[in-house]
Amino acid sequence: MGRDATEGGGQRGIEVGDPAPDFTLPATGGRTASLAALHGKPVVVYFYPKADTPGCTREACGFQEALGQLGGIGVTVIGISRDAVPALERFAAKFGLGFPLASDADAAVAKAYGVWVEKTMYGRTSMGLERSTFLIDAAGRVARVWRKVKVDGHAAAVLKAVQALP
C-alpha cells in the first residue's frame, strides 16, 4: 500500500506511515466528526462519492454490518462525502446507519487525503471523490490505504486489517 499518486493534478496521496490529516466536519445525528477527538483509538475513514446511490449504499451497509465487531474492538467508522448533512441524515435513517456520516462540502478533507481526483465518464472530465478507505492507528498514523475501492467484500477486508493491528 505504499505510495499512491492521485489522478489529475499529481498531488501526493497519503501513504502508510503518514500522520493522518486532522479534520472536524458536521455529521449525522447532530454529531461532529473529528479525528483529533478520537486520538488514541483506531479509526476507519472512508470516502464515498454520493449518498443513497447503489455502490455507496452497499458500502455503507457493509460497514454497518461490521460495526458490531469493529466497535467491539474499539474502532470508530466515519464515512465522508460532499453531500449536505440533511441528505446524509436521510441516507443514514433509510438504511439504519449507526456510524457518523460527515459532510465535506468544499472537499477540503478529500483534498488533504488525496482523494479529490480527476475522473472521466462518457468522455467528460470532472473532479470527484475517489472511493477510498484509510485505517488510522491509535497513534494517528495511516496504517492501511485502499484506493479505488471495489465495494463487495471491502468492509470484511477492512475488518481483517483492523484485527491485525498491533
Q: Flag whether pLDDT at 119 surpasses 90.
A: no
CATH, domain range 27-163: 3.40.30.10
Q: Flag whether pLDDT at 6 surpasses 60.
A: no
DSSP state of 128: E
| Extended beta strands in the chain, E state | 24-26, 32-34, 43-47, 76-81, 101-103, 116-121, 124-129, 132-136, 142-146
Distance of alpha carbon 159 from alpha carbon 166, whole angstroms: 14
pTM for the whole thing?
0.90
List the catalytic residue out of 25, 33, 35, 56.
56
Distance of alpha carbon 15 from alpha carbon 113, whole angstroms: 9
**The pLDDT of residue 3:** 33
DSSP state of 9: S
**Strand, coil or helix: 150:** coil
**The pLDDT of residue 116:** 95
Averaged pLDDT score across all residues of the chain: 90
Helices (H) and strands (E) in the chain, counts: 4, 9
Band (46; pLDDT cuts 50, 70, 90): very high
Q: Which of 4-8, 46-50, 87-91 has the lowest mean pLDDT?
A: 4-8
Q: Flag whether pLDDT at 131 surpasses 50.
A: yes
61 is catalytic: no
